[in-house]
Amino acid sequence: MNKKFSFGGEILEVIRDVSFSLFPATSLSIRGESGCGKTTLLNLLARIEEADGGEVLWGQNRMRCDRQATHKEVSLRASFLGVVYQAYYLIPELDVLENVVLPARISGRLNLAVIERAHHLLKQMGVAGKTRQIPGKLSGGERQRVAIARALINQPQVLLADEPTGNLDERTGEEVMELLLNSSLEEGASLVLVTHNPSFAQATNRQLFLSEGRMNEV
Amino acid sequence: MIVVVAFMKGFQHKFREDIVDAQGHARAISLSRSTAWRELQSELLEKPEILAASPYLNGPLLAQKNDSYSIPFAIGIDLSSGEPALPFDQFLQKGQSRLSAHEAIDVTPSPSLDYLDDEVVFLSSYVANRLGVRPGAILYMHGDSTMGDGDLAVQVKRLGPRVPSAEWKLSYLDQDFWLLESQGLSFSKKLKVKGGLLDAGPGTPTFELVEEPSNLKVGDVYTFQSFRSSTLEIYSPAIVQKAQANEMIPPKEVRVGGILEVPWQGFHAEAMVGTFRLIEELQMGRNRCDGMYLKFSSEIARNEKDLADFCEELELPRSVHWAFVPWFVENAWFFDLLKFEEYLMILIMVPIGLVAAFAIAIALMTSVLRKIREIGLLVAMGGVRVSVGAIFCMQGFFIGLLGALLGCLLALLFIRFRDSIMTFIVVRIAGDEGRAGVAQFYDFYSLSVPYPWESGESAALFFTFGLFAILVSTIAGLIPAWRASRMNTADALRNE
């Protein structure tokens, strides 16, 4: 994959011929300096941003990355991928349970079993008692736990986590990271973790480092 | 907007009713002083669409009472052919004023058209005040200040213009008989109850029994004081002409039968209504007619186009001698003015509405712009762009729907409580005098403003403005939602 940005006539190549594979039920971490293109790489993997060239394979589905995602790819994304963001991105008007089941609602799969699963995930994340609270009433750690539950609700094959502990204190960050690693393992989802923290990165099966647009194995 | 337009339509409706009351649905105007008007009247009354055709003669006359003069516009009505086209009884009822007296109640019945004969006229209040004349009156003398006329066992049913000034004693004799006496007139007559009425003949008041005889006892006496109606003298231009030729003709002396109050201001303020024969006699012009007031069936009258077509149909074979003019053509200037006022109000309200719509649109756009990250998130989760845009479009739709419902509810409340609201506002701005002025010129108290379930026009008005509100909000939500849903998802997620 390749991706360039143009800033006032200056071209910045943030992804240069990056290629890697992620095997089922494994984890992978990507580290790198701020602004090196880690989030852009995750966006390219999730097909929410267009690359200048390259391909991505979601299981057996091969997709060109230099064009906008098709309807089919968008619906596939809903079931194939779960994303955890640094800033949680919970919908403030919806309560915890509604936020968790939102991906299922969007993909038209909302039913009683999904709600049961949402309760199960929230219990697993340790926020079972907060189902009817709105995100504004939760702490940062609790919000991120809810965001992880939301990312897992559609039983995705791959979980993309973009600095999930970036807004949390050290202790809470460790708890959340532990939950993220354990739950992805339990759910059988592969994990792509973007982080600055070397110890969190070491907890994954494979560690990569992005520098000057190139991906290096650590 | 709903309230403004509904009220303007209410004014139009009220003025329309007032004008039709004062002038009929149309007037047949004589163009050639034709003498064959009785034939025309018969022809017209044979048509099922024409309910009444009242011929009239009109022209100025000089009225005198002592040293006071007035030149009223005299209208002579022909009452020989059934119901008149104009509701004179209503005008007389509106024009009646009550006397106030110590230990007495004015129990004068409302005059009616049957008082009119060749020696009786009805005057507009302006003329009556100018001449200092009034119709007959009768008071019930009780000596008990707490008593009201509703407490009486007998009421005065009719007080003809020729009842003299006198004190009348009405005594209960038995179930069938009463005694009416007047010492001053040396009058005494035993009256038998006929159809609940006690009538001693011309020149006396007619009484009506309102109490069950079982509640009366022998010796019950009711005392009344009547005041005879004023007289006035009338001179016509014809009399003046005769006087110039040294032929002395005395003026015509007539009695005041009642005071008219015509709701339409376009009706002559200085008016005198008499019989056709009286005005004919005064004008000394035999067998001619100036026109006819016409009243049509509701099928013709309710639609202006039908009415105009019908008038044209009537006029076509008679256009040499008669013109048939519908009420709205004769008063076109006024309705043009009223329409102009309505358009002016709309012209003022439309920019206000547009500014409000713009404010709603900006508020909705802002709310959507603040949601750009959420829009990006929904797309990132697998939401189809069109569906995500539709969510925000629906938000605008529901806000518009809620606003429209609330606006309609407020409009209904305003219409329902218009009198209280207007009184509250006017009294605080202009005091009680202002309230009287508003009641006089903008009679909210009798204004007919129909609810949407009472009139199709009103329902259409509510629907139109409700739809406008919903459309504005929906479009205001649609545009930014469409733009946001087309944004690059990654950029939307980066949006702060």
Query: Is A78 an interface residue toward B (CB < 8 Å)?
Result: yes
Last residue of a domain, one of B330, B353, B369: B330
Query: What torsion, rounded to 10 degrees, do the Cα atoms A94, A100, A106, A107 define?
Result: -170
* Residue contact A106–B377, C-beta within 8 A: no
Of B373, B374, B380, the CB nearest to A48: B380
Nearest-angstrom CA–CA distance, B382 and A77: 6
Q: What percent of chain B has pLDDT over 90?
A: 27
B382, A43: Cβ pair inside 8 Å? no
**Using one digit for the tens of pLDDT, what is the confidence trace for B403-433?**
899 999 998 998 888 777 877 887 788 777 7
Does B325 share its domain with B370?
Answer: no
Shared domain for B457 and B422, answered yes or no, is yes
Q: Measured between alpha carbons, how far is B371 from B119 in angstroms, rounded to an integer?
A: 86
Residue B319 lies in a domain: yes
| Closest CA–CA distance from residue A89 to any residue of chain B (Å) | 7
Q: Which residues of B touch A91 (CB under 8 A)?
A: 374, 377
CA distance B373 to A85: 12
Q: How far is the C-alpha of A54 from the C-alpha of A73, rounded, in Å?
A: 16
Contact A74 B489 (CB under 8 A): no
Contacts of B43 (CB under 8 A, 6+ apart): none
Adjacent-strand bridge partners of A12: A5
- pLDDT of residue B50 exceeding 70: yes
Nearest to B490 among A49, A79, A106 (CB): A49
Same domain, B321 and B381: no
CB distance B379–A102 less than 8 Å?
A: no
Rounded-to-integer distance, Cα B448 and Cα B415, Å:
10
- Put simply, whether the predicted model's pTM sits higher than 0.90 gets the answer no
- Which chain B residues contact residue A77 at CB under 8 A? 380-382
Mind listing the pLDDT tens digit for each residue in B445-469?
A: 567 778 888 888 888 888 988 898 8
A106 contacts in chain B (CB < 8 Å):
378, 381-383
Cα–Cα distance for residue pair B223/B153, rounded to 1 Å: 12
The nearest alpha carbon in chain A to B489 belongs to A48
* Residue B284 shares a structural domain with residue B367: no
Cβ–Cβ contact A157 with B under 8 A: no
Which own/partner pairs from B429-436 qualify as long-range (CB within 8 Å, at least 24 positions apart)?
none
Alpha-carbon distance of A155 to A82, in angstroms, equals 8
Same-domain check for residues B340 and B325: no
The arithmetic mean of pLDDT across residues B302-326, rounded, is 90
Structure tokens at B402: 């809620």
Q: Residue B197: left if φ>0, alpha if ψ -120 to 50, beta else—which one?
A: beta
- Highest mean pLDDT among B58-72, B234-248, B264-278 belongs to B58-72
Q: Is pLDDT of B147 > 60?
A: no
| CB atoms A74 and B488 under 8 Å | no
Range of the domain at B126: 2-136+229-330
**Cross-chain residue pair B382–A106, CB shorter than 8 Å:** yes
Each residue's pLDDT, cut to its tens digit, for chain A (218 residues) gives 999 988 878 888 889 999 999 999 899 999 999 888 899 999 999 988 889 999 999 888 898 988 888 888 888 888 899 999 988 899 999 999 999 999 999 888 899 999 999 999 999 889 999 999 999 999 999 999 999 999 999 999 999 999 998 888 888 889 888 988 988 888 899 999 999 999 999 999 999 999 988 998 87
Contact A103 B382 (CB under 8 A): yes
Instruction: Determine, for residues B493 and A48 on separate chains, whether the beta-carbon distance falls below 8 Å.
Output: yes
A49 contacts B381? CB cut-off 8 A: no
Query: Confidence class of residue B151 from pLDDT cuts 50, 70 and 90?
Result: low
Q: Is residue B214 part of a domain?
A: no
Q: How many Å apart are CA B331 and CA B21, to the nearest integer?
A: 13
Q: Decide: B301 and B307 in contact? Cβ < 8 Å.
A: yes
If one counts every other C-beta atom within 10 angstroms of the C-beta of residue B238, the result is 16
* Domains of chain B: total: 2
Q: Which of residues 100-139 of A touch B (CB under 8 A)?
A: 102-103, 106-107
Which of A39, A106, A109, A159 is most worth mutating to test chain B (most B CB atoms within 10 A of its CB)? A106
Contact B121, B255 (CB under 8 A): yes
Among residues B305, B330, B355, which one ends one of the domains?
Answer: B330
- B469 inside domain: yes
Which of B330, B363, B387 is the endpoint of a domain?
B330
pLDDT at B360 over 80: no
Tell me which of B375, B378, B381, B388 to substitute to probe the interface with A (most A C-beta atoms closer than 10 Å). Answer: B381
In a domain, B205, yes or no: no
Closest among B255, B172, B156 to B204, alpha carbons compared:
B156
**pLDDT value for B478:** 79
CB contact under 8 A, B381 and A78: yes
Tell me the C-alpha distance between B99 and B109, whole Å: 12
Would you call B490 and A43 a contact, using CB atoms and an 8 Å cutoff?
yes
- Tell me: do B273 and B415 sit in the same domain: no
> What residues does each domain of chain A span?
3-217
Does residue B482 share a domain with residue B339? yes
CB B447 within 8 A of CB B3: no
Closest CA to B266 of B217, B319, B337, B207: B337
Phi and psi at residue B251, to the nearest 5°: -65, 160
User: What gap in Å lies between CA B158 and CA B154, rounded to an integer?
Assistant: 12
CA nearest A105 in B: which residue? B383
- What's the pLDDT band for B213 if we cut at 50, 70, 90? low
Contact assignment for B380 to A91 by CB distance below 8 Å: no
Angle at B402 between CA B401 and CA B408, to 5 degrees: 90
The answer to whether the CB of A73 falls within 8 A of the CB of A87 is no
Among 2.60.40.10, 3.40.50.300, 3.30.360.10, 3.60.70.12, what is the CATH number of A3-217? 3.40.50.300
pLDDT tops 60 at residue B164: yes
Same domain, B276 and B340: no
Name which of A71, A75, A83 is nearest B380 (Cβ-Cβ): A83
Q: What are the Cα distances from residue B88, in Å, to B57, B101, B121?
A: 16, 28, 12
CB contact under 8 A, A74 and B377: no
Distance CA A178, CA A199 (A): 12
Same domain, B423 and B464: yes
How far away is chain B from the Cα of A91, in angstroms, using its nearest Cα? 7
A30–chain B nearest CA distance, Å: 19
Q: What is the DSSP string of B193-225?
A: -BTTEEE--TTS-EEEE-S-GGG--TT-EEEEE
Long-range contacts of A210-214 (CB under 8 A, 24+ apart): A210/A18, A210/A30, A210/A31, A210/A32, A210/A36, A210/A37, A210/A38, A210/A41, A211/A32, A211/A33, A211/A36, A212/A16, A212/A36, A213/A13, A213/A14, A213/A15, A213/A16, A213/A18, A213/A36, A213/A37, A214/A16, A214/A17, A214/A18
- Nearest-CA residue of chain B relative to A81? B381
DSSP string for B323-390: EEEEHHHHTHHHHHHHHHHHHHHHHHHHHHHHHHHHHHHHHHHHHHHTTHHHHHHHHHTT--HHHHHH
Confidence at B401, pLDDT banded by 50, 70, 90: very high
Q: Can you tell me whether residue A34 is helix, strand or coil?
A: coil
C-alpha angle B17/B19/B23, rounded to 5°? 125
> Can you tell me the distance from the alpha carbon of B210 to that of B314, in angstroms, rounded to the nearest whole number?
48
Q: Per the domain annotation, does B154 fall within a domain?
A: no
Contact list in A for residue B381 (CB cut-off 8 A) is: 77-78, 83, 102-103, 106-107
Q: Is residue B360 part of a domain?
A: yes
Provide the mean pLDDT of chain B: 84
Q: Give the chain A residue nearest B488 (alpha carbons).
A: A49
Residue B111 within a domain: yes
Question: Count H helices, E strands: chain B?
Answer: 15, 20
Tell me whether residues B379 and A85 touch, CB distance under 8 A: no
Q: How confident is the model at residue B146 (pLDDT cuts 50, 70, 90)?
A: low
In this structure, the answer to whether residues B90 and B103 fall within a common structural domain is yes
- Which chain A residue lies closest to B376 (C-alpha atoms)? A48
Q: Are strands B291-296 and B26-30 parallel, antiparallel or unpaired?
A: antiparallel
Which chain B residue has its CA at the smallest distance from A90's CA? Answer: B374
Q: Would residue B278 count as lying in a domain? A: yes
Residue of B88, B75, B136 whose CA lies nearest to B114? B88
